[in-house]
Chain A
Amino acid sequence: MAGAPSTDTAIIRRRVSRSQSQRGTEEPPLIKWTLIAIALAFSLVFLLLPLVNVFAQAFAKGWQAYWNSLTEPDSWAAIRLTLIVAAIAVPLNVLFGVAAAWAIAKFEFRWKSLLTTLIDLPFSVSPVVAGLMFVLMFGLQGYFGKWLEAHEIKIIFAVPGIVLATVFVTFPFVARELIPVMQAAGSEQEQAALTLGASGWRTFWHVTLPSGKWGLIYGIILCNARAMGEFGAVSVVSGHIIRQTETMPLRVQALYEGGSAVSGAAAFAVASLLALLALITLAIKTFLEWKQARDYSRAQQLAMPTPESDSDTAFLARQNLR
């Protein structure tokens, strides 16, 4: 690679200067190791052990029991419903997130800061309150209750209500991840596309979206994890009807409250799926963060003057010969 040697030396130089600067400000080893020990112990007890326990409990009665408790019709229905809800909620929020991020990152308008704040609203509202809001709107006693009943449309205690609650709760994820990435990418690439004759639509698909690719995927992953794992809001609007409006998290609670040893193990089996989803999400998230950081440092390199490689000198030498 043409630019590689110079880039490498730049990184080495940065590392050297960092280790030198730390020497002067470093804390005594005792403090350092105590802090590390506390942090490690905490995450071990509160994060790792419970996680291991979920899987241990799930497999306590062996593989066959695990498999049976997942394929048992009620749990299977819950798994299917969760997948359906996510399959509707995630694309909707991708659509909204991309539109909002594009508007916020690329344009200046009057209510921009209000929109930015509104996007964050679902983060600051308790999911139970979010669920209640939908009950108040679409429930029998709600504003639209009479009208909905007259037209035989069921939202609350039905799948549409669950989808609505999930969409609300997972509303910020895509937009929040995408906005900084698209802002960092700047608008020069888009302007370049325009000068080359591309329409706004084409520019969006070929330039804007690819430049925010990793942010988008990252947002989708987080959005999906939350959509599948949401309990509070969904619990309020679902009505807990077995095989109809019970999602995985609700199923876990129902099984656990069943009280028997069998249903307890089944609860952990379903819970282990959600835990697995969390682990996969974490793995993808870490990978994407690494990728984003790499793209970012490349973008930085692109913006900076680079020491010229031999090929440039050779190019100019050839030019002069002509």
Chain B
Amino acid sequence: MSIELKNVTKKFGEVTAVNDVSFSVNEGELMALLGPSGGGKTTVLRMIAGLEMPTTGDVFIRGQRVNDLSVQERNIGFVFQNYALFKNMNAFKNIAFGLKIKKWKRPDVEARVMELLKLFDLEGLEKRYPHQLSGGQRQRVAIARALAPKPGVLLLDEPFGAVDAKIRQELREWLVTLHHELNVTTIFVTHDQEEAMEVSNRTVIFSRGNLEQIGTPREVYEQPANEFVARFIGVMNVLELHVRKGVARLNELEFPSHGLPDGERLRIGFRPYSVQISSDDKAYRYRAILRHTYFLGVMLRVELELPSGLLIRARMTKEEYAFQRLADGKDVSFQIRQYRVLAREGEKLAPEVAVTHDVPLTLGEGI
């Protein structure tokens, strides 16, 4: 076990930034700390680094309690959001800084910096100052600088936050490749759920200082622990249902009451891919008009408008869309194949209750 947090709480004055958080990161893992801004994820990263001290609780690095160790003694590499390159030093000196502190011999420093420059494709740029480098080059210098003294852990704060959207996607893949090659335990902070899903082995999800869920990308997507996670990871249709005559309803949509008596409320959610659409308006149970189509590449997102005016988001492949001869304004029928009960009476459900409910296929026309 490389890093472990035990009941860590951090307060800034009256504000609790991190509230009783415990989790561990395995050796060689690539871990994402995900959450909306103000969620406490950066504070957690900074506490691991030693840039912040926990108010209560313990931080362990490789089994050693590091609460009382200073930043310098923790042997971590930290990449800041805006890279924080030393602007009065060129790329070479930036990367060499940590090695000189550790009193490496001059030829060793040179060899190590050259090795990193090569690995990060920065050869020929060693004499450039930060302002003479592009955003991507700066980021690479920052990561090279953090990795130069061979830290036990690499910590990155919003590594792609300051990079152009166009190149971000490709940098993610590069980070995965880099991690694969170096195999150093890596933790990065992001507010972008797609980024966390794509890059990390496991993701820790924070909201308002609380740890909401920890799991592999697949786990948090398919088995969200609660409504926050369900809504934060990916797109979800959320419906507030009223139980009447033993059936939970919203306008024309009907779901099982899950044992609730009449008059109670029930919140359910379903992913856009759980909506099955047919251009045959009698194929499935519900009818709708295809209001709008969003092209997202291979996948399409369509917006369905029910006769009552309710809007539902669905997702399908381009091929299926073409095969069904769908188009904006067309009458369609649909069914919801899978949904999750999110909450009853506005209460958060215990995770074990929030299981996926399958709806039997092809309910046919009418009730």
Q: Which chain B residue shows the least CB distance to A318?
A: B121
Give the one of B50, B77, B78, B131 with max A CB within 10 A.
B131
Q: Which chain A residue shows the least CB distance to B98?
A: A196
B276 adjacent to chain A (CB < 8 Å): no
Q: Which of B80, B83, B134 contacts A309 (CB 8 A)?
A: B134
Give the one of A189, A299, A307, A309 with max B CB within 10 A.
A189
* The 9 A-B residue pairs with the shortest CB-CB distance in the complex, in nearest-first order: A196-B98, A312-B136, A188-B84, A306-B135, A210-B88, A195-B78, A298-B131, A309-B134, A192-B84
Q: Which residues of A contact B317 (CB under 8 A)?
A: none
- Determine whether the beta carbon of A196 is less than 8 Å from that of B88: no
Q: State how many residues of chain A have any CB contact under 8 Å with chain B.
A: 41
B49: min CB distance to chain A, Å: 6
- Complex Cα gap A39–B138 (Å): 46
- Determine whether the beta carbon of B121 is less than 8 Å from that of A319: yes
B145-191 interface with A by 8 A CB criterion: 145-146, 149, 162-164, 166-167, 170-171, 173-174, 177
B25 adjacent to chain A (CB < 8 Å): no
Q: Which residues of A contact B174 (CB under 8 A)?
A: 316, 319
- Determine whether the beta carbon of A191 is less than 8 Å from that of B84: yes
- Determine whether the beta carbon of A195 is less than 8 Å from that of B146: yes
B235 adjacent to chain A (CB < 8 Å): no
Q: State how many residues of chain B have any CB contact under 8 Å with chain A.
A: 45
Chain A at the B interface: mostly helix, strand, loop or mixed? helix
A291-315 interface with B by 8 A CB criterion: 295, 298-299, 301-309, 311-313, 315
- Complex Cα gap A304–B50 (Å): 26
Known: A188-B82, A195-B78, A211-B88. 9 other contacts (CB 8 A): A193-B86, A194-B51, A194-B71, A198-B72, A207-B86, A210-B88, A305-B163, A307-B135, A309-B137
Q: Which residues of B contact A202 (CB under 8 A)?
A: 101
- Determine whether the beta carbon of B134 is less than 8 Å from that of A197: no
B325 adjacent to chain A (CB < 8 Å): no
Residues of B bordering A, CB below 8 Å: 49-51, 70-72, 76-78, 80, 82-88, 97-98, 101-102, 121, 130-138, 140, 145-146, 149, 162-164, 166-167, 170-171, 173-174, 177
Given known A-B contacts A191-B51, A299-B87, A305-B163, A2 and B134 have beta carbons under 8 A apart: yes
- Complex Cα gap A295–B131 (Å): 9
Q: Which of A191, A196, A211 contacts B97 (CB 8 A)?
A: A196
B127: min CB distance to chain A, Å: 12
Q: Which chain A residue shows the least CB distance to B145?
A: A196
A3 adjacent to chain B (CB < 8 Å): yes
Q: Which chain B residue shows the least CB distance to A301?
A: B131
Given known A-B contacts A210-B88, A319-B174, A312 and B167 have beta carbons under 8 A apart: yes
A31 adjacent to chain B (CB < 8 Å): no
- Complex Cα gap A193–B174 (Å): 26
Q: Which residues of A contact B136 (CB under 8 A)?
A: 308-309, 311-312, 315
- Complex Cα gap A305–B181 (Å): 27
Q: Which of A210, A213, A298, A308 contacts B164 (CB 8 A)?
A: A308
- Determine whether the beta carbon of B80 is less than 8 Å from that of A199: no
- Determine whether the beta carbon of B163 is less than 8 Å from that of A308: yes
- Determine whether the beta carbon of A188 is less than 8 Å from that of B164: no
- Determine whether the beta carbon of B134 is less than 8 Å from that of A302: no
- Complex Cα gap A199–B363 (Å): 70
